[in-house]
Structure 1
Amino acid sequence: MTYKTQMEAARKGIVTPQMEIVAKKEHMPIETLMERLAKGTVIIPANINHKSLDPEGVGEGTRTKINVNLGISKDCNNFDVEMEKVNKAIEMKAEAIMDLSSYGKTREFRQTLVEKSTAMIGTVPIYDAVGFYDKELKDITKDEFLKVVRTHAEDGVDFMTIHAGLNRATAERFKKNSRLTNIVSRGGSLLYAWMELNNKENPFYEYYDELLDICREYDVTLSLGDACRPGSIADSTDASQIEELIVLGELTKRAWEKDVQVMIEGPGHMAINEIAANMILEKRLCHGAPFYVLGPIVTDVAPGYDHITSAIGGAIAASNGADFLCYVTPAEHLRLPNLDDMKEGIIASKIAAHAGDIAKGIPNARDWDNKMSKARQELNWEGMFQLAMDPEKARRYRAESMPENEDSCTMCGKMCSMRNMNKIMEGKDLNILRD
C-alpha cells in the first residue's frame, strides 16, 4: 500500500516511521495516535523532502509544542546572525522554527535551514512573493502565488501559513465592524490589500483545491492563518475573528477530504477571561483540528515584556486545549529580536506550554516537577541544575551569591525550611545560631 500524507497512511492502517517516533515520544499507543491522525485531531508535520527532521506530533493528547519565529528582513538581513538563532533554537529544543524571511536570499536561507534543522519548519509564502518576483504586490497573479507555495514545498517546508479564510465575505464583515487596530496579521493585510487593489477574490480561497494538491504532493501541513486575529484586547472575539473562524472550519473539512493535514491559527491579543471560551470555539467550529496560538497577549501596555504577557495567555490557552504556542519575545512590537530576546521568548513559551500540559494531564508531565521537588527537598543543587528548564541561568544565579553553608542559599541561610525540616525529620539538632 502507498500513501501521500501521514493522514492518508493512518486512514489506510499504515504505520509510518514518523508515527513510531511520535508515539514513543508522547507515551501514546500507536493505535491511538493513528486514530487521531485519521480524524485530524493530531498532525505530524513532515514534508517528504525534510530529511533531517525529528518528527513531532501536535494535537489531542500530545505535549504542547512551541514555535520560534526568525528570518531575514530588509532592515536586518544578516544571514549569519539569523542562522545563529537557528542553532540556539535547536539547542534549546524548540519543536518548530518559522522562517519569516521577506528580503534577499530567502531561498538560500530556507534551504540551509531545512537541511540542518531537526525541528519542523514553517513559512508564510506570501511574505516571500514580493521579493521572489521583484514586483509590486498588486501585480502578482494567482499562478505566481501558487508557484511560491510549490517552491516552499519543494524545499522541504513542513507547514505553511496560508490566510485562505479571508475571503470577500469576511472582508465585507470587517468593513462593517470597525476595529481599533484593523488587520494586524502581516500576511492577512497583504492579501486584503491585494483583494482591494484588484477587486478580486482571495486567490488562496478561490483556488483552494490547487493549494491542497500541492500540500498533498509533499505532505505539507496547512496552517490556516488567522488574518483577522485581534491585534488589541479591544478587538478580540469580534465579528471579523469569528466570521473567519467559521470559514476556516469549512476549509478544514475540505482539506481532510484530500488527506491534507491541518492546524488552525488563533489569537492574538485577548483579555484573560476570553481565552478559555476561544479555545472551545476553535475546537468546536474547526472540528477538533489542532490549535496554534500567538500568545495570547493578555494586555497591550507592556512593550519590552510581551514574553511575559504572552506566557500568561499561553499557559491559560494550553490548559484549555491549545496545542501549539508561537513564542513571543521581549522585542515584540518594537524590533526584530536578537539572540538574547529569542532565548527569553523560548523559555517563557516553554514555561507556558509545560504549565498547560500539567493542567491537561499529559502523561509524565508532572514527573519533571516531582523530580525537581525531590532535588530541592534533598538540597541537591547539581540535581536541580540538571532538571532546570534553563540550567545555565540557574547555575549563574547560584554562583553569583554563594552562602556560608552549602546546604542553604543566601535568601534564608540556616533558616532554610528544607534544611531544617530534613534535620528535624532525621532527629538532628538545628544549630541555627551556632557554627
Structure 2
Amino acid sequence: MKTQMAAARDNIVTPQMEQLLAAETVDRDDLVSAVAAGRIAIPANPHHTHLVAGGVGRGLRTKINVNLGVSEDCCNVDLEIEKVRRAVALKADAIMDLSTFGDTRAFRRRAIEISPVMIGTVPVYDAVARYGKSVPDISVDDFFDTVALHAADGVDFITIHAGLTRAAVDRLRRRPRLTHVVSRGGAILLHWMDANECENPFYEHFDRLLEICRAHDVTISLGDGLRPGSLHDATDAAQIQELIILGELTLRAWRADVQVMIEGPGHVPLHEVAANMQLQKKLCHGAPFYVLGPIVTDVAPGYDHITSAIGGALAGAHGADFLCYVTPAEHLRLPDADDMKEGIVAARIAAHAADIAKGIPGAMDWDNAMSHARKELDWPRMMELAMDPDKARAYRESSKPLDEHVCTMCGDLCAVKRSRQVLEGR
C-alpha cells in the first residue's frame, strides 16, 4: 500500500486527493506537489472507511480540531460519542480522542465508525489506561504495541512527543520554567525517562514508529511536549530545542514516505505569535503547523476560548494550518457539550479570519454575502449565513422591533435603512 505521500511522489492522484480537490480551491498539480513535498498532509488511514478526507497545509483552508474523550472522573462514553456527532454537525474538521480511562479501544472504534472527519489520538495516554501499570513500568513494547493498535483501528493521525529528548530535558533543568511541563503526554514521557534513566523511546526507536505509520498511512503529529504553559515560558530554549529536534525527525519521516504535522504552542504573548510561526516553518521545513491555541493571556479562566481565538487568528494569519480548539472549561474541568460548542465556534471564527488574511481564494465570499444581506435588511438570509444560525435567531427573536426591517439597537435610526433611502432612493 502506498501512503498519500508516496502516491503523490509517483504523481498519482488518490481518491482522498480527489475528495480534497472537491472541497478546496487548490489546483490539482499544486496539491500533488505539496503532498509530495510534505507541505500538505492528508491524514487518511485506509481502515477509517467512512472518512471524507481533509487536508492540512499550504494553500488550504485553516482547519480546526476538537478534543474529547473519557477520563476517570468523567467516564460517560455515550456523552462523548454524542459529542463526536455534535462536533461533526458543528463543522469541526478533525476530532482527537484523548481518553485515559476505561475501555478506550471500544470508545475509539465507535468514534472512528461514526466520524466522517479525521480522527487523531495520543497513544501514550492509552498505554497508561490499557495496561494499568505505573508509568515507569510501561515497557517500550507496550508503547509501540499501543501505537500499532491505534493504527489498525483506523486512527488517521497520532500525536507522538518524540522531540522531548534527554538533551532537551537537561536544557530544561538548567533553565527552569515557571510552569515546567504542561503537556500530559510530555509529562508521562518525562516521568518514564527519569525513572528508567533512558532516552525517549519514540526518539530512540523512531524508525520503528515510521514502519507502523507507513504500513497504515498514519500521519504523525509531532507533539510539543515542551510547549509553554505560561506566557513567562514562551519561546524559551527548551521549546526551541525541541522544535529543532522535530525538524530533524520530520526529514526522517519524509524519507520514509510518512506524512508529518508539527504541534506548536501553547501559551504565547501576542507579540511573539508571528515569530513562533516563522520559527516553526523555518526549522521544520514548511511542514503543516498545528497550534494548541495559542493562548495569549494567562488570566482568563472561563474565557480561554476567547484568548485562544485571538492567538489562533494571528497564528493562522502568519502560517499556522490547523487550530486546536480551546473551550471555556480549559484549565478548569472536562468540557461539556455546551463548552464544546463555544470552543468550536470560537475556533471557526479564528480559522476563517486567518483564511481571509492568508488570501485563500473565495474565503471572503461568505462575508460579502452577509454584508449584502445586511444592506438589504434581509434578516432570513442573515440568519442562514450566520456561523451559528441558532444563536443568531435566538437573539433576534428575544427582542423584536416595532419595524420588522430593523433591530432594537437603532430602530427608526437604523443607519443602513436611512443611508439606503438617501443613496438608493429606497
Q: Does TM, normalized by the shorter one, top 0.5?
A: yes
Residue equivalent to 2:151: 153
* Kept in 2: contact 1:354–1:365 (CA 8 A): yes
Q: Mind listing any 5+ residue stretches in structure 2 that lack a counterpart?
A: none
Structure 1 position 93, deviation (Å): 1.0
Q: Distance in 2 between matches of 1:134 and 1:105?
A: 12
Q: Distance in 2 between matches of 1:427 and 1:62?
A: 42
Residue equivalent to 2:218: 220
Is residue 375 of structure 2 the alignment partner of residue 377 of structure 1? Answer: yes
Question: 1:27-38 maps to which residues of 2 (within 5 A)?
Answer: 27-38=25-36
Residue equivalent to 2:323: 325
Q: Distance in 1 between matches of 2:268 and 2:148?
A: 34
Q: Which amino acid aligns with 1:314?
A: G
Could you list the per-position Cα deviations for residues 254-311 of structure 1 after superposition, in whole angstroms to 9, with x for gaps in the alignment?
Answer: 0000000000000000000000001000000000000000110000000000000000
Over 3 Å off, 4+ runs:
none
Structure 1 position 425, deviation (Å): 2.6
Question: 1:237-256 maps to which residues of 2 (within 5 A)?
Answer: 237-256=235-254
Q: Distance in 1 between matches of 2:315 and 2:25?
A: 23
Q: Mind listing any 5+ residue stretches in structure 1 that lack a counterpart?
A: 429-435
Residue equivalent to 2:118: 120
Q: Distance in 2 between matches of 1:247 and 1:191?
A: 16
* Kept in 2: contact 1:26–1:363 (CA 8 A): no
What is the identity percentage for the equivalent residue pairs of Structure 1 and Structure 2? 63
Is residue 31 of structure 2 the alignment partner of residue 41 of structure 1? Answer: no
Question: 1:153-232 maps to which residues of 2 (within 5 A)?
Answer: 153-232=151-230
Could you list the per-position Cα deviations for residues 305-352 of structure 1 after superposition, in whole angstroms to 9, with x for gaps in the alignment?
Answer: 000000000000000000000000000000000000000000000000
Q: Distance in 2 between matches of 1:153 and 1:357?
A: 31
Structure 1 position 205, deviation (Å): 0.4
**Of residues 261, 266, 269 in structure 1, which corresponds to 2:267?**
269
Residue equivalent to 1:343: 341
Q: Distance in 1 between matches of 2:425 and 2:116?
A: 52
Q: Which amino acid aligns with 1:330?
A: P
Structure 1 position 426, deviation (Å): 3.4
Structure 1 position 427, deviation (Å): 2.6
Q: Which amino acid aligns with 1:142?
A: V
Structure 1 position 251, deviation (Å): 0.1
What secondary structure does 1:365 align onto? Answer: coil
Q: Distance in 1 between matches of 2:304 and 2:326?
A: 7
Count of aligned pairs between the two proteins:
426
Q: Which amino acid aligns with 2:391?
A: K
Q: Distance in 2 between matches of 1:4 and 1:104?
A: 34
Q: Distance in 2 between matches of 1:426 and 1:27?
A: 35
Q: Which amino acid aligns with 1:250?
A: E
Residue equivalent to 2:306: 308
Residue equivalent to 1:419: 417
What secondary structure does 2:51 align onto? Answer: coil
Is residue 61 of structure 2 the alignment partner of residue 63 of structure 1? Answer: yes
Residue equivalent to 1:281: 279
Q: Distance in 2 between matches of 1:266 and 1:182?
A: 16
Structure 1 position 140, deviation (Å): 0.9
Q: Which amino acid aligns with 1:52?
A: H
* Kept in 2: contact 1:49–1:155 (CA 8 A): yes
* Kept in 2: contact 1:4–1:218 (CA 8 A): no
Q: Which amino acid aligns with 2:340?
A: M
What secondary structure does 2:254 align onto? Answer: helix
Structure 1 position 36, deviation (Å): 0.2
Q: Which amino acid aligns with 2:403?
A: N
Q: Which amino acid aligns with 2:155?
A: V
Structure 1 position 380, deviation (Å): 0.5
Q: Distance in 1 between matches of 2:252 and 2:21?
A: 27
